[in-house]
Amino acid sequence: MEFAIPEKVAIDLEQFKAFLKANLEPHLAGWYKQEVIPPEFIQKMGHDGWLGFRQENGRIVEQSALREAILFESLAKLSPGVAVAILVHISLGTAPLFLFGSDELKQRYLPSAIKGETLLCLGNTEHKAGSDVASISMQAERVEGGWVLNGTKAYVSNGAISDLALVTAVSHPEAPRNNRLSMFLVDLSSRGVARKKLNKQVWIPSDLTRLSFDNVFVHEENLVGEPGRGLQQVLATFTQSRIPISALTLGTAVGAFEMGLDRAKNREIFGQKIADFQAKSFEIADFYARIEAARLMVWKAAWTRDQGKDFRLEAAMAKYLTVEIARGVGLWAADLFGAASVMQDHPVHKYPMDAWASSLGEGTQDVQKLVIFREIMKK
Ligand SMILES: Cc1cc2nc3c(=O)[nH]c(=O)nc-3n(C[C@H](O)[C@H](O)[C@H](O)COP(=O)(O)OP(=O)(O)OC[C@H]3O[C@@H](n4cnc5c(N)ncnc54)[C@H](O)[C@@H]3O)c2cc1C
């Protein structure tokens, strides 16, 4: 059993931290104020090889899940909101295209996606269907040469900044429940697409956008994967994305912990530092231990995937445990800052809010427990 980070990943991590220091940290406060992530930043990430895939001898290959997890933790520690925008582009946009797209679609879009020049998002959730993915109602009607889409995707991260969206829709209404959906790649500049940026209070500065489709024509070749397999494809997309979102959530916990620890070491009340109260020192010890346990779970999930093994159980446990710890440590850290913590522009404010957001993406805590239980019962 080997717990050390592989040497190559350790080198990448140091380079990535230097990249973030130069290209993210000086701008973060401004991006939070404006609630935007400049596309140039994502392009710079792509050009420097930080967007999850790379070109190798003319082929596009996915980076290891462990490397991605380690990089996501360090990015989310600084900004879970920026991290989620990157995660969505890589794991909910580029990855399903890589996994299920035809050779033609991949050749057309992947080279620019991995450089961050073409941005992707995933539109699945509707007002009446979130966890229960099979119940979505967006319609895909067959017409000559393609499909016509009608409906609304209620909550789409990166919907405002993306060029393309992977969208699930009912293409086979008469088929059994599990074979009714297909996945489509939609150009968001198409006629009939409308975007409405929503006023959310989590994962700032990323956007959350409602995408409406009114008679949007999609060419036959933009059907992603197999007709009628949209449900399985979107669930597989969430399963693989549970590892990076667990790492992102771990980074949220670590960012909160470090800020809280710093406060506890420096803030004096009743004539002593907060950290000198034994009650607080026990909390610090408790959170540190539980963060480390959650990290080991994330790494195990990533390692399992990198071994080519079934990682559904590990990924769901990683998501479940990291959300639990991020929620606890986020509130703890905010508490240590007292009243100042409720100010929206206070740096600690984002951590409890973003831990809350993490509990929703790629399946709620209840959904993780459903997956964990199902996998236990298979054993
Ligand atoms: C910031 C943010 C970004 C998002 N980005 C995207 C995106 O990019 N693309 C996208 O498609 N969606 C996105 N979503 C939507 C997200 O995926 C859904 O919110 C999530 O899947 C839950 O669906 P829901 O909101 O409809 O809640 P529901 O599914 O209605 O769940 C409500 C409650 O019921 C519980 N529950 C559900 N099923 C069960 C069950 N079987 N047993 C027990 N309890 C259950 C849930 O745990 C929850 O507590 C985003 C959401 C947020 C908040």
Are both 63 and 171 inside the same structural domain? no
Position 177 scores a pLDDT of 95
Cβ proximity of 110 and 97 under 8 Å:
yes
Q: How far apart (Å, rounded) are the C-alpha atoms in residues 335 and 329?
A: 10
Question: What does pTM read for this prediction?
Answer: 0.97
User: In the predicted model, is pLDDT for residue 222 greater than 80?
Assistant: yes
Q: Whose CA is nearest to atom 25 of ligand 1?
A: 130
Mean pLDDT over 104-116 rounds to 97
Q: How far is the CA of 197 from the centre of ligand 1 (A)?
A: 18
Q: How far is the CA of 130 from the centre of ligand 1 (A)?
A: 5
Cβ proximity of 20 and 74 under 8 Å:
yes
User: In the predicted model, is pLDDT for residue 1 greater than 80?
Assistant: no
Residue 68: name the closest of 329, 242, 302 by CA: 302
Q: How far is the CA of 299 from the centre of ligand 1 (A)?
A: 25
Rg of the chain on CA atoms, in Å: 21
Q: How far is the CA of 208 from the centre of ligand 1 (A)?
A: 14
CA distances from 224 to 70, 155, 227 (A): 30, 21, 8
Beta bridge partners of 224: 183
Position 366 scores a pLDDT of 97
Q: Whose CA is nearest to atom 23 of ligand 1?
A: 130
Beta strands in 172-245 (DSSP E): 181-187, 193-197, 208-219, 223-224
Residue 311, SS3 per DSSP? coil
Domain final residue pick, 228, 253, 282: 228
CATH of the domain at 329: 1.20.140.10
Are both 169 and 294 inside the same structural domain? no
150-193 pLDDT, tens digit per residue, is 999 999 999 999 999 999 999 999 999 999 999 999 999 999 99
Are both 248 and 361 inside the same structural domain? yes
Q: What's the DSSP call for residue 273?
A: E
* Structural domain for 140, as ranges: 121-228
CA of 129, closest atom in ligand 1: 26
Q: Whose CA is nearest to atom 9 of ligand 1?
A: 156
CA dihedral for 119, 124, 127, 131, sign (positive or negative): negative
Are both 249 and 359 inside the same structural domain? yes
CATH of the domain at 205: 2.40.110.10
How many domains does the structure of the chain reveal?
3
108 exposed, middle or buried (CB, 10 Å; 0-12, 13-18, 19+)?
middle
Residues 6+ apart with CB under 8 A from 171: 140, 142, 147, 180, 181, 182, 227, 228, 230
Q: Is residue 107 included in any domain, yes or no?
A: yes
CA of 366, closest atom in ligand 1: 47
Position 52 scores a pLDDT of 96
Are both 32 and 47 inside the same structural domain? yes
Position 168 scores a pLDDT of 98
Q: How far is the CA of 84 from the centre of ligand 1 (A)?
A: 16
* Ligand 1-lining residues (CB < 6 angstroms): 88, 92, 121-125, 130-131, 155-157, 200, 202-203, 208, 357, 360-361, 364, 366-367, 370
The token pair at 70 is 């380690």
Q: How far is the CA of 125 from the centre of ligand 1 (A)?
A: 8
Q: What is the mean pLDDT of the chain?
A: 97
CA distances from 11 to 7, 16, 61 (A): 6, 9, 19
Q: Whose CA is nearest to atom 18 of ligand 1?
A: 130
Out of 364, 370, 373, mutate this one to test ligand 1's pocket (max ligand atoms within 8 Å of CB): namely: 364
Are both 209 and 279 inside the same structural domain? no
Cβ proximity of 115 and 42 under 8 Å:
no
The token pair at 172 is 């086979």
Task: Please report where in the chains the tokens 């109602």 appear, as a residue.
Answer: 137
> What percentage of the chain reaches a pLDDT higher than 70?
100
Mean pLDDT over 310-332 rounds to 98
Pairing of strands 120-123, 164-170: parallel
User: In the predicted model, is pLDDT for residue 328 greater than 80?
Assistant: yes
121-158 pLDDT, tens digit per residue, is 999 999 999 999 999 999 999 999 999 999 999 999 99
Q: Is residue 111 included in any domain, yes or no?
A: yes
Q: Is residue 167 included in any domain, yes or no?
A: yes
Mean pLDDT over 340-364 rounds to 95
CA of 360, closest atom in ligand 1: 20
Q: Is residue 320 included in any domain, yes or no?
A: yes
Q: How far is the CA of 257 from the centre of ligand 1 (A)?
A: 27
Q: How far is the CA of 71 from the centre of ligand 1 (A)?
A: 26
DSSP 84-135: HHHHIIIIIIIHHHHHH--HHHHHHHHHHHTTTSS-EEEE--BTTBSS-GGG
Domain final residue pick, 86, 119, 152: 119
Are both 199 and 160 inside the same structural domain? yes
Q: Is residue 2 included in any domain, yes or no?
A: no
Q: Whose CA is nearest to atom 26 of ligand 1?
A: 130
Q: How far is the CA of 13 from the centre of ligand 1 (A)?
A: 32
7-17 pLDDT, tens digit per residue, is 999 999 999 99
Q: Is residue 1 included in any domain, yes or no?
A: no
CATH of the domain at 12: 1.10.540.10
Cβ proximity of 168 and 129 under 8 Å:
no
CB neighbourhood size of 373 (10 A): 12
Residue 208: name the closest of 116, 121, 117 by CA: 121
Q: What is the largest CA-CA distance in the chain?
A: 78
Domain final residue pick, 174, 205, 228: 228
Are both 166 and 38 inside the same structural domain? no
Work out the end-to-end distance of the chain between its first and last CA atoms, rounded to an integer number of angstroms.
23
Q: Is residue 144 included in any domain, yes or no?
A: yes
Q: Is the peptide bond prior to 205 cis by the omega test (within 30 degrees of 0)?
A: yes
Q: How far apart (Å, rounded) are the C-alpha atoms in residues 292 and 374?
A: 26
Q: Whose CA is nearest to atom 41 of ligand 1?
A: 367
Are both 185 and 58 inside the same structural domain? no
Are both 27 and 99 inside the same structural domain? yes
Residue 97: name the closest of 109, 85, 87 by CA: 109
226-275 pLDDT, tens digit per residue, is 999 999 999 999 999 999 999 999 999 999 999 999 999 999 999 999 99
Are both 241 and 256 inside the same structural domain? yes
Are both 77 and 201 inside the same structural domain? no
Q: Is residue 90 included in any domain, yes or no?
A: yes
Out of 125, 152, 197, 234, mutate this one to test ligand 1's pocket (max ligand atoms within 8 Å of CB): namely: 125
CA of 361, closest atom in ligand 1: 17
Residue 238 phi, psi (nearest 5): -65, -40
